Amino acid sequence: GMRDPPPAANHSDAESSDPNSPQRWATAPSAPSSSSRRRHSRGGDVAAAFSLINRMTDEGVRPDEATFNSLMGVCSRARDTRALERAVALMEKSGIPPGCTTYNIAMKSYVRARDTKSVEEIFKLMKASMKPTTISYNIAIDCYCQIGNMQRAAEYFSEMTENQVEPDIVTFTTLIKGFGRIGCGSRALELYTALCEGNARGGHSGGLKVQEQTFYATINACLLSHLVEDALKVALDMLKEGIPMRSRTLKWMLETAIREDDEKVALATLSAVDPKGRLLKAAEKRWLLEQIDELGGFFFLKSKLRV
């Protein structure tokens, strides 16, 4: 059977005295899925996965680390941290020590549950037995970016580089998203600029190619901070790389320019991103025109949107 989760504040004396024991990993309540249909589907997947492990054992097939990592992956995708702990306990009972992937899957599951305490505990256990990978640090950084604690995220980034673990494009994109979430578009832009310049001169970001998700993360961060002109510059960089603009992002750029009462930037954005007027959908144009009518002005932008 599965043990009850320990209190968040401390661990039971009955737990294993081994500091590396996976049984010391805290358990958070599983997050609800978006619909009952998806919830039942995920629950069925978890039950089926455990049933398969039992069948393997009954037939004399010994599960290995990859088997348990797959089982934990099912639990993680189902956002079922109780089932995850059950899988970890079963893995320990089988005498199989957790590997790097095992720790990463567990951390990712608790990131989804917004359980920073458990993420910290698991990462500490991992560092006591092996060197974390880039993926491991990315998960820890993402944990704090998601809740807006950019100071802790930056600390992990510093620790990462000090331990000579190379950041990748996911590291920078995650940090850019994090700064965007707290309305610090200027910091996001600094990271984006450093990333672009690093491609030319080397350093932590040297050799990394800016990808589509990084461009969009930076554009979004700028717009969340009302830096529409900077968002346009990043968008132009993206277009030069042959990456198309999404209509909803163009709509958001124009909406921000309208709200900032900057018709010049709005016209420049429309002219540079959608010169033929084919990107915006009819409903998006109507919505923008409604915003203009509400605020007044923007005669030239209005005429272009009506074409």
Cβ pair 161, 167 in contact under 8 A? yes
Helix residue ranges, H only, the chain: 36-58, 65-77, 81-93, 100-112, 116-129, 134-146, 150-162, 169-181, 185-201, 212-224, 228-240, 247-259, 263-273, 282-295, 299-305
Q: What is the mean pLDDT of the chain?
A: 85
Token digits of residue 174: 């995650």
- Tens of pLDDT, residue by residue over 76-117, are 999 999 999 999 999 999 999 999 999 999 999 999 999 999
| Backbone φ/ψ region at 74: left (φ over 0), alpha (ψ -120 to 50), beta | alpha
- Tens of pLDDT, residue by residue over 158-177, are 999 999 999 999 999 999 99
What's the pLDDT score for residue 276? 86
Token digits of residue 223: 């717009």
Tell me the C-alpha distance between 172 and 132, whole Å.
18
Question: Is the pLDDT confidence value at 202 over 50?
Answer: no
Largest pairwise CA distance in the chain: 77
Among the listed ranges 19-23, 189-193, 209-213, 252-256, which one has the minimum average pLDDT value?
A: 19-23
Question: Is the pLDDT confidence value at 258 over 50?
Answer: yes
What's the pLDDT score for residue 43? 56
- Tens of pLDDT, residue by residue over 39-68, are 434 556 899 999 998 898 889 899 999 999
Q: Tally the C-alpha atoms within 13 A of residue 44's C-alpha that lie toward its C-beta.
A: 6
